[in-house]
Amino acid sequence: MDQTIKRRWLLSAATAITGGAVLGSVGGSNQAAVALGDGSVVDPSGGIIRTPPERFATLPDYPFETHFASVKLGGASGARVRMHYLDERPADPAKASGETILLLHGNPSWSYLYRHVVPLLVEAGHRCVAVDLVGFGKSDKLTDRFAYTSQRHVDWLAEAVFEYLDLRDVTMVCHDWGGMLGLRLLAREPSRFRRIVASNFGLAEGGRDLGPGWAYLAQWQQLTQRTEQLRASQVIENFTTSGLRPAVRRGYDAPFPDDPSLHGFRRFAVLIPITADDEANPAIRQTWDVLETLRTPFLCVFSDQDHVFHGDHSGLSARIPGAQGQPHVVIKDAAHFVQEDQPSEFAAAVNDFIERTR
């Protein structure tokens, strides 16, 4: 990747994250154990916290019904965590297309990112399932930041999508970290997927020589670990062309009332594979073993003003057989969070792809 592009992205990230805040150590949680309306009790001392539901009470343009899947936390505790998801479909069954779309977000967003996209997909007759990753949105958060690993994220997704929801013949729409995890999910059971739509991400092993780019990546990682007033809305707004209204900024900050709730956000920054012995490298190689023989239709929908890729999807489209000959889309006047900047164009690209490959 061109080092000027990487430098611009990481320096912009630094500005977005700090927002003028002073770097310093992060604090602990002051949350106490709480009894919830569903009869469950969440105790931070047990490693799981749950964002108070009133944080989500007045979000603009997010009228969707709430659903939860229970998945194994992992490790020896036997604990389970809740993963939130939307499950929207046409009100009139006669208008249903029979298509199911799985939408995966990245860092530091949640299913709120798709709030303007989902209605347009449902209007076309499609069922839409949008999952909040553990640590994000209305899903449970973990008090131990080191409990977040890329392998666990894939395991949690697999249990929710394959076992709890048992989704099949899926069109997966994945963005940012949702793409890096989503392709690993696909590699486990490729037969469940009918199409893939990939947006603004790559899938590379650690250990590749990016020259001075590593210094800027290290800066990004340090900032996310040490910035006291870390706000998802500042990052997201800085990576849009349209900006965010105050109410929308509150929507992106809603999942993160205190520092422990931000552990998933902070952790993703240091889970980016950078070294040749990164623990994620074997799984990434195994994923590429599947992708390089994958003939499932694969469409890239990138954006021209993304700070990292600038519309260059060749890292995916040039290597995946199912991507050959597809009319890949680069949406104009959109930055990294293309669903914020151009939701109608994004939804149209997905709907057109489904219609063309049915």
pLDDT digits (tens, 9 = 90+) for 299-337: 999 999 998 889 999 999 999 999 999 999 999 999 999
Distance CA 129, CA 103 (A): 6
336 is catalytic: yes
When the candidates are 3.30.230.80, 3.40.50.2300, 3.40.50.1820, 3.40.960.10, the CATH number that belongs to 3-18+31-356 is 3.40.50.1820
Give the pLDDT of residue 275: 83
Other beta carbons within 10 angstroms of residue 51's beta carbon come to: 22
Instruction: Give bridge partners of residue 151 from the DSSP assignment.
Output: none
SS3 content of the chain, % helix, strand, coil (to 5): 40, 15, 45
Q: Which two tokens stand for residue 114?
A: 């798709």
Question: Pick the catalytic residue: 132, 155, 306, 341?
Answer: 306
Cβ pair 111, 137 in contact under 8 A: yes
Other beta carbons within 10 angstroms of residue 357's beta carbon come to: 14
Q: How far is CA 103 from CA 86, 87, 112, 197, 354, in A?
A: 9, 10, 11, 9, 14
Distance CA 296, CA 315 (A): 17
Distance CA 312, CA 43 (A): 45
Question: Pick the catalytic residue: 153, 175, 307, 336?
Answer: 336
Question: Pick the catalytic residue: 176, 307, 328, 341?
Answer: 176
* Model pLDDT for residues 247-306, shown as the tens digit of each residue: 999 999 999 999 999 999 999 999 988 888 999 999 999 999 999 999 999 999 999 999
Give the pLDDT of residue 227: 84
Q: Where are the chain's structural domains? A: 3-18+31-356
Amino acid 281 reads N
Taking the complete model, does pTM exceed 0.75, yes or no? yes
176 is catalytic: yes
Distance CA 93, CA 13 (A): 44
Does pLDDT of 158 surpass 80? yes
Segment 128-150 mean pLDDT:
97
Length of the chain: 358
310 is catalytic: no
Q: Which burial class, exposed, middle or buried, applies to 319 when counting CB atoms under 10 A from its CB (0-12, 13-18, 19+)? A: middle
Does pLDDT of 122 surpass 50? yes
- 9 vs 219, residue with greater confidence: 219
